[in-house]
């Protein structure tokens, strides 16, 4: 590891660094999307990359997510490794045919002889006052589609390592980047490194209950855990990091240890990933160790409001996690 291993950079910088280092290493990697070139990306993430890599590899496109996804899929079929950026995850709705009916299925349709090595980078989530069409968390749509991996890193370290792994993967990966995480900082090595896409991580050890959270809910769960510790409740925070394929081994081990589990995510409760995860836990060896029912805390079944107070009330906050965890800690006692 380099001498700069303990330097701190932002989540945004970690994503940019992963893309840039992989583009220097592999000439087949390129970035494609709206305003990724001259403008530097909707969030400034690709700022400076056009000057280094040129317009052939930092490709600005028309305002058509369907066209972007189609171009990326075709390029991947021909051996390139496109990184497709959409300005907001919500806009993936416009590219669903290309992603769901084409990119996700090509490897299977051609009996494993075709590969679609593409990454779909999608800024997701609420908290910026961007309203209904720019604030959604649509991971469950894609988790339901065979052939697409879904990852949701919560730290700058995870973002860089998992994006490098995603770029090198030979089939489609949806890479979720919560907008509120872009400015968060953390230690990130400056060299290339990989984080496997099916490897959860315990972000905080605990004995009384397990909180399973991903993306923006990880720092909120960690903050809640610190508050709960002052009241004598020792919380373990588990970050799946990859939602599909899922590391059930780590989840079963944690839940079996604590005997209680609270699943927290931003997407709406109905049809959300938490329901699938709860079913998987209920059908696993961890079920015999549960001392209380599996509980879920998720977003309300409403479009994300523009009003900041209503927006905040629509998705779990730290105080909501604290309250839900305290209630769960009392159950079965």
Q: Please list the active-site residues.
A: 65, 134
Block residue for tokens 């996804």: 69
SS3 breakdown of the chain: % helix, strand, coil, rounded to 5?
40, 20, 40
Contacts of 256 (CB under 8 A, 6+ apart): 285, 286, 289
Residue 172 near residue 118 (C-beta atoms within 8 A): yes
Quote the tokens at residue 306: 């523009």
Query: Any idea which residue has 């409403």 for tokens?
Result: 302
CA distance 53 to 57: 6
Asked whether the beta carbons of 174 and 123 are under 8 A apart, the reply is: no
List the one residue out of 333, 329, 330 whose CA is nearest residue 234. 329
SS3 172: coil
**Strand 261-268 with 209-213, pairing:** parallel
| Residue position matching structure tokens 């959270």 | 213
Q: 75 Cβ partners below 8 Å, 6+ apart?
A: 30, 32, 82, 118
Q: Between the CA of residue 127 and those of 103, 132, 278, 297, 307, what are the distances in Å? A: 31, 11, 26, 17, 10
Q: Residue 276's Cα: distance from chain center in Å?
A: 16
Residue 206: name the closest of 173, 174, 228, 179 by CA: 228
Residue 76 CB contacts under 8 Å (≥ 6 apart), including other chains:
82, 103, 115, 116, 117, 118, 172
């Amino acid at each position: 590891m380099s001498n700069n291993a303990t330097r701190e950079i932002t989540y945004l910088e970690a994503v940019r660094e992963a893309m840039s280092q992989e583009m220097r290493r592999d000439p087949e990697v390129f970035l494609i999307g709206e305003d990724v070139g001259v403008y530097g990306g909707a969030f400034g993430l690709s700022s400076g990359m056009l000057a280094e890599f040129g317009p052939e590899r930092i490709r600005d496109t028309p305002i058509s997510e369907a066209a972007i996804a189609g171009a990326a899929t075709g390029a991947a079929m021909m051996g390139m490794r496109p990184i497709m950026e959409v300005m907001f995850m919500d806009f993936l709705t416009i590219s669903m045919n290309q992603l769901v009916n084409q990119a996700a299925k090509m490897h299977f349709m051609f009996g494993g002889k075709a590969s679609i090595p593409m990454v779909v980078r999608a800024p997701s989530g609420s908290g910026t006052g961007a309203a209904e069409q720019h604030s959604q968390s649509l991971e469950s749509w894609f988790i339901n589609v065979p052939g697409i991996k879904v990852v949701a890193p919560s730290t700058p370290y995870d973002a860089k390592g998992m994006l490098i792994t995603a770029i090198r993967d030979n089939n489609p990966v949806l890479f979720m980047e919560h907008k509120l995480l872009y400015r968060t900082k953390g230690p990130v090595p400056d060299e290339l490194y990989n984080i496997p896409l099916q490897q959860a991580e315990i972000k905080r050890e605990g004995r009384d209950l397990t909180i399973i959270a991903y993306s923006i809910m990880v720092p909120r769960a960690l903050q809640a855990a610190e508050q709960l510790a002052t009241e004598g409740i020792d919380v373990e925070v588990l970050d799946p990091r990859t939602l599909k394929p899922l590391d059930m081994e780590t989840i079963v081990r944690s839940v079996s240890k604590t005997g209680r589990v609270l699943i927290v995510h931003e997407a709406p409760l109905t049809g959300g990933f938490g329901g699938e995860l709860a079913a998987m836990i209920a059908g696993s060896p961890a079920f015999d160790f549960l001392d209380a029912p599996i509980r879920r805390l998720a977003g309300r079944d409403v479009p994300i409001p523009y009003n900041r107070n209503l927006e905040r009330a629509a998705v779990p906050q730290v105080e909501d996690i604290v309250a839900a965890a305290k209630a769960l800690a009392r159950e079965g006692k």
